[in-house]
Amino acid sequence: MGTNLLKYPALGPGGCFGIVSPSWFGGETFLPRAMHGVRYIESLGYRVKIAPHAFNNRGHVSDTAENRAADINAMFADPGVNAIMCTIGGTHSIDVIPYLDFDLIRANPKPFIGYSDTTSLNVAIHAMTGLCTINGPYLLSDWAEFPRMPEISQDWMLKLLTSSDSPGNVPYPEEWTREFLDWETGEDRTRRRTHEPNTDWTVLKEGRAEGPLIGGCLECLNLLWGTRYWPNLDGTILFIETAGDLKSAYATDELMGGLEFTGASSTESQGSCSRSPMTSLRIIGTSLDRLLRRAISNMISVITNMDFGHYSPMIAMPLGVRALVDTKTVSVTLLESPAD
Protein backbone atom coordinates (compact mmCIF):
# COMPACT_ATOMS: atom_id res chain seq x y z
CA MET A 1 0.00 0.00 0.00
CA GLY A 2 1.39 3.43 -0.83
CA THR A 3 0.45 6.96 0.15
CA ASN A 4 1.98 10.43 0.25
CA LEU A 5 4.43 11.22 3.04
CA LEU A 6 2.78 12.74 6.11
CA LYS A 7 5.29 14.75 8.11
CA TYR A 8 4.90 15.53 11.80
CA PRO A 9 5.12 18.98 13.45
CA ALA A 10 8.63 19.77 14.66
CA LEU A 11 9.16 19.20 18.38
CA GLY A 12 9.58 22.50 20.18
CA PRO A 13 11.33 23.39 23.46
CA GLY A 14 9.49 21.88 26.41
CA GLY A 15 7.68 19.39 24.20
CA CYS A 16 6.25 16.20 25.66
CA PHE A 17 7.28 12.59 24.98
CA GLY A 18 4.57 9.99 25.50
CA ILE A 19 5.92 6.62 26.63
CA VAL A 20 4.27 3.36 25.50
CA SER A 21 5.13 -0.36 25.55
CA PRO A 22 3.61 -1.99 22.47
CA SER A 23 5.55 -5.23 23.04
CA TRP A 24 7.02 -5.97 26.44
CA PHE A 25 8.18 -4.32 29.64
CA GLY A 26 10.15 -5.99 32.41
CA GLY A 27 8.00 -4.81 35.29
CA GLU A 28 9.35 -3.49 38.58
CA THR A 29 12.92 -4.69 38.03
CA PHE A 30 13.16 -2.43 34.96
CA LEU A 31 11.70 0.64 36.64
CA PRO A 32 15.03 2.08 37.92
CA ARG A 33 16.48 2.04 34.42
CA ALA A 34 13.27 3.40 32.90
CA MET A 35 13.15 6.28 35.36
CA HIS A 36 16.82 7.04 34.70
CA GLY A 37 15.84 7.50 31.05
CA VAL A 38 12.83 9.62 31.95
CA ARG A 39 14.95 11.90 34.15
CA TYR A 40 17.54 12.24 31.42
CA ILE A 41 14.92 13.33 28.87
CA GLU A 42 13.56 15.82 31.39
CA SER A 43 17.09 17.15 31.99
CA LEU A 44 17.13 18.17 28.31
CA GLY A 45 14.12 20.42 28.91
CA TYR A 46 11.37 18.09 27.69
CA ARG A 47 8.37 16.66 29.50
CA VAL A 48 7.44 12.99 29.77
CA LYS A 49 3.99 11.39 30.03
CA ILE A 50 3.83 7.66 30.77
CA ALA A 51 0.88 5.75 29.33
CA PRO A 52 -1.32 3.89 31.85
CA HIS A 53 -0.15 0.41 30.83
CA ALA A 54 3.42 1.23 29.73
CA PHE A 55 5.18 -0.09 32.85
CA ASN A 56 3.01 -3.19 33.29
CA ASN A 57 4.17 -6.77 32.85
CA ARG A 58 2.10 -9.78 31.80
CA GLY A 59 4.85 -12.29 31.12
CA HIS A 60 5.93 -12.04 27.50
CA VAL A 61 4.01 -8.77 26.94
CA SER A 62 3.45 -5.57 28.88
CA ASP A 63 -0.34 -5.86 28.78
CA THR A 64 -3.19 -7.07 26.59
CA ALA A 65 -3.09 -6.12 22.92
CA GLU A 66 -6.18 -3.97 23.43
CA ASN A 67 -4.56 -2.04 26.29
CA ARG A 68 -1.27 -1.61 24.48
CA ALA A 69 -3.12 -0.24 21.46
CA ALA A 70 -5.30 1.97 23.66
CA ASP A 71 -2.15 3.60 25.04
CA ILE A 72 -0.87 4.35 21.54
CA ASN A 73 -4.22 5.70 20.34
CA ALA A 74 -4.50 7.87 23.46
CA MET A 75 -1.05 9.34 22.94
CA PHE A 76 -1.88 10.28 19.34
CA ALA A 77 -5.16 11.81 20.50
CA ASP A 78 -3.60 13.79 23.37
CA PRO A 79 -2.84 17.36 22.21
CA GLY A 80 -0.35 17.69 25.07
CA VAL A 81 1.87 14.88 23.69
CA ASN A 82 4.22 15.82 20.86
CA ALA A 83 6.20 12.61 20.25
CA ILE A 84 5.63 8.95 21.11
CA MET A 85 8.49 6.71 22.22
CA CYS A 86 8.44 2.98 22.93
CA THR A 87 10.16 1.63 26.03
CA ILE A 88 11.63 -1.47 24.38
CA GLY A 89 10.84 -4.20 21.85
CA GLY A 90 9.91 -7.82 22.38
CA THR A 91 7.92 -10.15 20.19
CA HIS A 92 4.26 -9.14 20.01
CA SER A 93 3.89 -5.62 18.57
CA ILE A 94 2.08 -7.11 15.60
CA ASP A 95 -0.83 -8.09 17.89
CA VAL A 96 -1.53 -4.37 18.43
CA ILE A 97 -2.05 -3.44 14.77
CA PRO A 98 -5.73 -4.47 14.43
CA TYR A 99 -6.65 -2.18 17.33
CA LEU A 100 -4.91 0.95 16.06
CA ASP A 101 -7.08 3.86 14.92
CA PHE A 102 -5.38 4.85 11.68
CA ASP A 103 -7.83 7.69 11.00
CA LEU A 104 -6.96 9.14 14.41
CA ILE A 105 -3.24 8.76 13.74
CA ARG A 106 -3.53 10.39 10.32
CA ALA A 107 -5.40 13.34 11.83
CA ASN A 108 -2.82 13.80 14.61
CA PRO A 109 0.63 13.21 13.08
CA LYS A 110 3.39 12.76 15.63
CA PRO A 111 6.77 11.01 15.53
CA PHE A 112 6.42 7.38 16.60
CA ILE A 113 9.81 6.00 17.68
CA GLY A 114 11.15 2.49 18.15
CA TYR A 115 13.02 -0.30 16.38
CA SER A 116 13.38 -4.11 16.54
CA ASP A 117 9.88 -5.52 17.20
CA THR A 118 8.42 -2.03 16.76
CA THR A 119 9.28 -2.36 13.06
CA SER A 120 5.87 -3.96 12.45
CA LEU A 121 4.16 -0.87 13.90
CA ASN A 122 6.46 1.63 12.20
CA VAL A 123 5.86 0.04 8.81
CA ALA A 124 2.12 -0.59 9.27
CA ILE A 125 1.44 2.96 10.47
CA HIS A 126 3.48 4.39 7.61
CA ALA A 127 1.78 2.16 5.04
CA MET A 128 -1.73 2.97 6.28
CA THR A 129 -1.35 6.71 6.97
CA GLY A 130 1.78 7.96 5.22
CA LEU A 131 3.14 9.14 8.57
CA CYS A 132 6.91 9.33 8.84
CA THR A 133 7.62 6.92 11.68
CA ILE A 134 11.15 6.52 13.04
CA ASN A 135 13.32 3.44 13.41
CA GLY A 136 14.98 4.99 16.40
CA PRO A 137 16.22 4.72 20.00
CA TYR A 138 14.13 3.21 22.79
CA LEU A 139 13.69 4.64 26.27
CA LEU A 140 15.28 1.61 27.98
CA SER A 141 18.07 0.56 25.66
CA ASP A 142 19.22 4.01 24.57
CA TRP A 143 17.90 7.04 26.45
CA ALA A 144 18.53 5.21 29.75
CA GLU A 145 22.17 4.37 29.00
CA PHE A 146 24.59 5.06 31.86
CA PRO A 147 25.79 7.66 32.51
CA ARG A 148 23.97 9.19 29.52
CA MET A 149 22.76 8.45 26.04
CA PRO A 150 25.54 8.46 23.40
CA GLU A 151 25.79 12.02 22.18
CA ILE A 152 25.78 11.07 18.49
CA SER A 153 22.49 9.14 18.92
CA GLN A 154 20.88 11.93 20.90
CA ASP A 155 21.93 14.78 18.60
CA TRP A 156 20.82 12.98 15.44
CA MET A 157 17.48 11.94 16.97
CA LEU A 158 16.74 15.46 18.18
CA LYS A 159 17.74 16.85 14.79
CA LEU A 160 15.12 14.64 13.14
CA LEU A 161 12.51 15.70 15.71
CA THR A 162 13.12 19.43 16.03
CA SER A 163 14.31 20.74 12.66
CA SER A 164 12.49 21.14 9.35
CA ASP A 165 15.81 21.45 7.51
CA SER A 166 17.16 18.56 5.48
CA PRO A 167 19.20 16.47 7.96
CA GLY A 168 22.09 15.70 5.60
CA ASN A 169 24.44 12.74 5.94
CA VAL A 170 23.59 9.90 8.30
CA PRO A 171 26.35 10.12 10.97
CA TYR A 172 29.12 7.59 11.49
CA PRO A 173 29.93 6.75 15.15
CA GLU A 174 33.63 6.45 15.88
CA GLU A 175 32.99 3.69 18.44
CA TRP A 176 30.33 1.10 19.24
CA THR A 177 29.49 -1.58 21.80
CA ARG A 178 27.54 -4.78 22.18
CA GLU A 179 28.59 -5.42 25.78
CA PHE A 180 25.76 -6.56 28.06
CA LEU A 181 25.43 -5.19 31.59
CA ASP A 182 22.51 -6.70 33.53
CA TRP A 183 19.59 -4.29 33.91
CA GLU A 184 17.85 -6.36 36.57
CA THR A 185 20.77 -6.43 39.01
CA GLY A 186 21.69 -2.79 38.48
CA GLU A 187 25.04 -3.68 36.91
CA ASP A 188 24.13 -1.32 34.05
CA ARG A 189 24.27 1.64 36.47
CA THR A 190 27.80 0.91 37.74
CA ARG A 191 29.82 2.03 34.70
CA ARG A 192 29.72 2.93 31.04
CA ARG A 193 29.75 -0.05 28.70
CA THR A 194 33.08 -0.90 27.10
CA HIS A 195 33.28 0.41 23.54
CA GLU A 196 35.56 -0.52 20.67
CA PRO A 197 36.59 1.39 17.51
CA ASN A 198 33.94 1.26 14.82
CA THR A 199 34.59 -0.54 11.55
CA ASP A 200 34.09 1.33 8.31
CA TRP A 201 30.86 1.04 6.39
CA THR A 202 31.37 -1.61 3.71
CA VAL A 203 30.29 -1.38 0.08
CA LEU A 204 28.88 -4.71 -1.11
CA LYS A 205 27.66 -3.34 -4.41
CA GLU A 206 28.72 -0.09 -6.05
CA GLY A 207 26.12 2.33 -7.30
CA ARG A 208 23.99 5.36 -6.61
CA ALA A 209 20.29 5.22 -5.70
CA GLU A 210 17.69 7.71 -4.52
CA GLY A 211 14.27 7.05 -3.02
CA PRO A 212 12.19 6.98 0.16
CA LEU A 213 13.55 5.04 3.14
CA ILE A 214 11.70 1.90 4.20
CA GLY A 215 12.83 -0.84 6.54
CA GLY A 216 13.76 -1.93 10.03
CA CYS A 217 14.20 -5.33 11.62
CA LEU A 218 14.11 -7.95 8.87
CA GLU A 219 12.23 -10.70 10.67
CA CYS A 220 9.56 -8.23 11.88
CA LEU A 221 9.24 -6.68 8.44
CA ASN A 222 8.64 -10.13 6.94
CA LEU A 223 5.72 -10.69 9.35
CA LEU A 224 3.70 -8.12 7.39
CA TRP A 225 4.09 -9.77 3.99
CA GLY A 226 0.71 -10.62 2.45
CA THR A 227 -1.21 -8.22 4.68
CA ARG A 228 -2.66 -4.83 3.86
CA TYR A 229 0.05 -3.32 6.05
CA TRP A 230 2.85 -4.28 3.65
CA PRO A 231 4.57 -1.14 2.28
CA ASN A 232 5.09 -0.27 -1.35
CA LEU A 233 8.78 -1.05 -1.92
CA ASP A 234 8.98 0.14 -5.52
CA GLY A 235 11.84 2.58 -5.89
CA THR A 236 12.69 2.60 -2.18
CA ILE A 237 15.93 2.68 -0.26
CA LEU A 238 15.60 -0.44 1.88
CA PHE A 239 17.39 -0.50 5.24
CA ILE A 240 17.42 -3.79 7.13
CA GLU A 241 18.95 -5.34 10.22
CA THR A 242 18.23 -8.40 12.32
CA ALA A 243 17.54 -8.99 16.02
CA GLY A 244 20.48 -9.62 18.30
CA ASP A 245 19.74 -13.29 18.88
CA LEU A 246 19.76 -14.18 15.19
CA LYS A 247 23.44 -14.95 14.60
CA SER A 248 23.39 -17.67 11.94
CA ALA A 249 24.32 -16.59 8.43
CA TYR A 250 21.97 -19.27 7.13
CA ALA A 251 19.04 -18.03 9.22
CA THR A 252 19.68 -14.54 7.86
CA ASP A 253 19.81 -15.93 4.33
CA GLU A 254 16.45 -17.63 4.92
CA LEU A 255 14.91 -14.32 5.98
CA MET A 256 16.42 -12.58 2.97
CA GLY A 257 14.87 -15.28 0.82
CA GLY A 258 11.47 -14.45 2.29
CA LEU A 259 12.03 -10.80 1.47
CA GLU A 260 13.03 -11.79 -2.06
CA PHE A 261 9.61 -13.40 -2.60
CA THR A 262 8.05 -9.97 -2.07
CA GLY A 263 10.05 -8.48 -4.92
CA ALA A 264 11.99 -6.27 -2.54
CA SER A 265 15.36 -7.28 -3.94
CA SER A 266 14.42 -6.74 -7.57
CA THR A 267 12.74 -3.33 -7.71
CA GLU A 268 14.24 -0.97 -10.23
CA SER A 269 15.76 1.76 -8.10
CA GLN A 270 16.68 0.15 -4.85
CA GLY A 271 19.58 0.64 -2.55
CA SER A 272 20.09 -1.21 0.69
CA CYS A 273 21.94 -0.01 3.72
CA SER A 274 22.25 -2.32 6.67
CA ARG A 275 24.24 -3.14 9.76
CA SER A 276 23.31 -4.85 12.97
CA PRO A 277 23.62 -8.62 13.37
CA MET A 278 22.94 -9.32 9.73
CA THR A 279 26.22 -7.58 8.92
CA SER A 280 27.56 -6.35 12.25
CA LEU A 281 29.62 -9.49 12.58
CA ARG A 282 31.92 -7.21 10.61
CA ILE A 283 33.67 -10.14 8.94
CA ILE A 284 33.84 -9.77 5.18
CA GLY A 285 34.69 -12.90 3.19
CA THR A 286 32.69 -15.27 5.42
CA SER A 287 29.64 -17.31 4.46
CA LEU A 288 27.47 -14.41 5.67
CA ASP A 289 29.12 -12.06 3.22
CA ARG A 290 28.69 -14.52 0.34
CA LEU A 291 25.03 -15.09 1.17
CA LEU A 292 24.38 -11.35 1.34
CA ARG A 293 26.02 -10.79 -2.02
CA ARG A 294 23.70 -13.38 -3.58
CA ALA A 295 20.60 -11.97 -1.91
CA ILE A 296 21.22 -8.41 -3.07
CA SER A 297 22.37 -9.21 -6.61
CA ASN A 298 19.49 -7.24 -8.19
CA MET A 299 19.80 -4.16 -6.02
CA ILE A 300 21.45 -1.01 -7.31
CA SER A 301 23.77 -0.12 -4.45
CA VAL A 302 24.46 -1.71 -1.08
CA ILE A 303 26.28 -0.44 2.01
CA THR A 304 26.63 -2.60 5.14
CA ASN A 305 27.93 -2.25 8.73
CA MET A 306 25.80 0.81 9.44
CA ASP A 307 24.58 1.67 12.94
CA PHE A 308 20.77 1.65 13.04
CA GLY A 309 20.22 -1.69 14.75
CA HIS A 310 20.56 -3.54 18.02
CA TYR A 311 23.88 -2.13 19.20
CA SER A 312 24.99 1.24 20.58
CA PRO A 313 25.13 3.99 19.40
CA MET A 314 21.78 3.61 17.67
CA ILE A 315 21.34 5.97 14.69
CA ALA A 316 17.71 6.76 13.84
CA MET A 317 16.27 6.25 10.34
CA PRO A 318 12.96 7.98 9.41
CA LEU A 319 10.60 5.99 7.19
CA GLY A 320 9.35 7.70 4.06
CA VAL A 321 11.84 10.54 3.68
CA ARG A 322 13.88 10.67 0.47
CA ALA A 323 17.47 9.53 0.80
CA LEU A 324 20.49 9.12 -1.43
CA VAL A 325 22.84 6.14 -1.20
CA ASP A 326 26.19 6.84 -2.87
CA THR A 327 28.87 4.17 -2.67
CA LYS A 328 31.47 6.43 -4.29
CA THR A 329 31.44 8.60 -1.17
CA VAL A 330 30.21 5.71 1.04
CA SER A 331 27.40 7.89 2.35
CA VAL A 332 23.67 7.92 2.98
CA THR A 333 22.13 11.37 2.82
CA LEU A 334 18.64 12.35 3.97
CA LEU A 335 17.37 14.83 1.37
CA GLU A 336 14.34 16.05 3.31
CA SER A 337 13.26 16.43 6.89
CA PRO A 338 10.59 14.22 8.47
CA ALA A 339 9.36 17.29 10.38
CA ASP A 340 7.34 20.27 9.19
Tens digit of each residue's pLDDT (9 = 90 or more) over 89-146: 999 999 999 999 999 999 999 999 999 999 999 999 999 999 999 999 999 999 999 9
| 210 beta partners | 324
Which of 145, 219, 241, 336 is the catalytic position? 241
pTM as predicted: 0.89
Instruction: Reply yes or no on whether 92 is catalytic.
Output: no
Q: What does pLDDT average to over the chain?
A: 86
Kindly state which CATH superfamily the domain 175-334 is placed in: LD-carboxypeptidase A C-terminal domain-like (3.50.30.60)
Which of 36, 53, 126, 310 is the catalytic position? 310
What is the residue extent of each domain of the chain? Answer: 16-164, 175-334
**Mean of the pLDDT values across residues 154-167?**
98
Which of 21, 23, 116, 120 is the catalytic position? 116
Answer yes or no: same fold for 16-164 and 175-334: no
Q: Write the CATH number of the domain with boundaries 16-164.
A: 3.40.50.10740
Instruction: Reply yes or no on whether 195 is catalytic.
Output: no
Instruction: Reply yes or no on whether 310 is catalytic.
Output: yes
